[in-house]
């Protein structure tokens, strides 16, 4: 199967007015079809730059999928840009103009004169029927390559991809290989620590392993490419076993599993209930736990302007007020260069208190703090279950306290 490339077209994307969700959707669809995607790019509504981007893409990719710029207005110049890249003229297609008029008629409307622009396509182009909108999609074959131009409206794009593009690609290039992925989630451990344990796995060519760091969480992405789904799943399964053996309890879940759900599963397994009191995180911990399991009884968000009371004391007071077996207290104090985080856990065999620091960006601090607090609670729950109570209260530091991600 040849390699593909995605080109999203629209000045509004470059200006940050809208988020490009089309590339994400297309990437996933190409992955499901077993088609390698090596490049994605964005260009504004400029005929010359569109032509340049298309020419460049054709030097390295056999399948180019473009989205956007197929409307009727003056700044919709994708058709012109592709024609210019291929050094051909636009051709008026009477049958396409008839289809456009028929679509408008369904809504008791008449197309304006500028809608006629949509009936012009690059010479040699094949029409891809758009049954859910008025912007005609098309494809143009060139030697071993193909340019596919789809509307930028997500609903129209997804329909045409499913009903027109995917059947075309399979017919022309064959079914090819199958690509499947699985993502393991880790919290409370730095990316470098994980790398030390699985560095050799990251050097594999197929299946592959990659790391992606977020605020207090690291994703380990496993990808396998095979001749069929069963073989791809088998390869992923074997690799996952190796990865989990290396990382152990660091892994709290996979794919759509969340840290909040993992924590509440541990709480529920002990037939306990968890409550949270937090300050300075804008409710980040409570949000992470809400709707993730029945073992969460709720929490309280304290205003940062409330009279300063030590977190340990606040958590102890709150524990007396709520009907919960476990109470997690979290306080984040942000500064210009360093942010201070305190975590208190009551209800285990021993009380736990963790003063930590964070040197990352202030905007990422609440999410980082919430993930770290939950990962520490999960760690202590696992430790108590497997080893008994070996921890001591008033711990002054933790490896997780050095996280900068």
Q: At a CB cut-off of 8 Å and minimum separation 6, what does 100 contact?
A: 111, 115, 116, 118, 119, 134, 136
Q: Which residues pair with 253 in a beta bridge?
A: 185
Q: Record the tokens describing residue 188, joined without a space.
A: 């409370």
Q: Which residues pair with 186 in a beta bridge?
A: 218, 251
What count of residues does the chain have? 405
What tens-digit pLDDT sequence spans the chain (405 residues)? 689 999 999 999 999 999 999 999 999 999 888 888 999 999 999 999 999 999 999 999 999 999 999 989 889 999 999 999 999 999 998 888 888 888 788 777 888 888 888 889 999 999 998 888 878 899 999 989 999 999 999 999 999 999 999 999 988 987 767 889 999 999 988 899 999 999 999 999 999 999 998 888 999 999 999 988 899 999 999 999 999 999 999 999 999 999 999 999 999 998 999 999 999 999 999 999 999 988 999 999 988 766 678 888 889 989 888 988 999 999 998 877 778 899 999 999 889 999 988 877 888 889 999 999 999 999 999 988 876 545 444 443 343 333 333
- Which CATH architecture group holds 178-254? 2-Layer Sandwich (3.30)
Pairwise CA distance, residues 108 & 150, whole Å: 25
Q: Record the tokens describing residue 80, joined without a space.
A: 């012109």
CATH class for the region spanning 259-402: alpha beta
Pairwise CA distance, residues 224 & 236, whole Å: 6
DSSP 47: H
Q: Record the tokens describing residue 168, joined without a space.
A: 């075309």
**Domain range annotation of the chain:** 4-173, 178-254, 259-402
Pairwise CA distance, residues 160 & 152, whole Å: 11
Residue 368: name the closest of 393, 391, 343 by CA: 343
Pairwise CA distance, residues 36 & 335, whole Å: 45
CATH of domain 4-173: 3.40.980.10
- CA 25, distance to chain mean position in Å, is 10
Q: Which residues pair with 213 in a beta bridge?
A: 218
Beta strands per DSSP E along 100-258 = 120-122, 126-128, 137-142, 145-150, 178-187, 208-213, 217-226, 251-254
Pairwise CA distance, residues 207 & 239, whole Å: 8
Pairwise CA distance, residues 165 & 39, whole Å: 19
Q: Find out whether 22 and 155 touch, Cβ atoms under 8 Å.
A: no
């Amino acid at each position: 199967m040849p390699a593909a490339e995605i080109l999203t077209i629209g000045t509004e994307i470059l200006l940050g007015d809208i988020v490009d969700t089309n590339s994400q959707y297309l990437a996933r669809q190409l992955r499901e079809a077993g088609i390698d995607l090596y490049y994605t790019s964005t260009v504004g509504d400029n005929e010359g730059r569109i032509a340049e981007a298309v020419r460049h893409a054709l030097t390295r990719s056999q399948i180019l999928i473009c989205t956007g710029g197929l409307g009727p207005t003056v700044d919709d110049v994708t058709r012109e840009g592709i024609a210019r890249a291929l050094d051909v003229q636009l051709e008026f297609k009477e049958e396409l103009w008839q289809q456009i008029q028929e679509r408008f008629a369904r809504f008791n409307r008449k197309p304006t004169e500028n809608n006629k622009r949509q009936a012009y396509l690059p010479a040699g182009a094949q029409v891809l029927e758009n049954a859910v909108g008025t912007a005609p999609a098309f494809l143009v074959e060139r030697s071993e390559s193909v340019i596919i131009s789809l509307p930028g409206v997500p609903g129209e794009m997804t329909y045409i991809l499913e009903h027109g593009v995917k059947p075309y690609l399979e017919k022309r290039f064959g079914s090819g290989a199958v690509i499947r992925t699985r993502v393991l989630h880790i919290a409370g451990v730095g990316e470098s620590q994980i790398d030390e344990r699985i560095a050799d796995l990251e050097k594999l060519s197929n299946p592959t392993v990659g790391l992606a760091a977020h605020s207090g969480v690291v994703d380990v992405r496993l990808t396998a490419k095979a001749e069929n789904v069963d073989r791809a799943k088998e390869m992923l399964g074997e690799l996952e076993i190796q990865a989990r053996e290396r990382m152990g309890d660091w892994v709290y879940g996979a794919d759509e599993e969340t840290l909040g759900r993992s924590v509440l599963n541990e709480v529920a397994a002990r037939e306990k209930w968890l409550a949270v009191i937090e300050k300075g995180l804008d409710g980040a911990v409570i949000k992470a736990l809400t709707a993730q399991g029945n073992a969460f009884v709720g929490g309280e968000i304290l205003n940062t302007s409330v009279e300063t009371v030590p977190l340990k004391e606040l958590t102890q007071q709150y524990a007396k007020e709520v009907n919960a077996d476990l109470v997690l207290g979290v306080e984040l104090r942000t500064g210009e260069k360093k942010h201070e985080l305190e975590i208190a856990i009551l209800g285990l065999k021993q009380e736990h208190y963790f003063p930590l620091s964070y040197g990352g960006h202030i905007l990422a601090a609440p999410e980082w703090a919430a993930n770290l607090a939950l990962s520490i609670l999960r760690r202590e729950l696992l430790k108590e279950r497997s080893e008994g109570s070996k921890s001591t209260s008033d711990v002054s530091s933790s490896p997780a306290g050095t996280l900068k991600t």
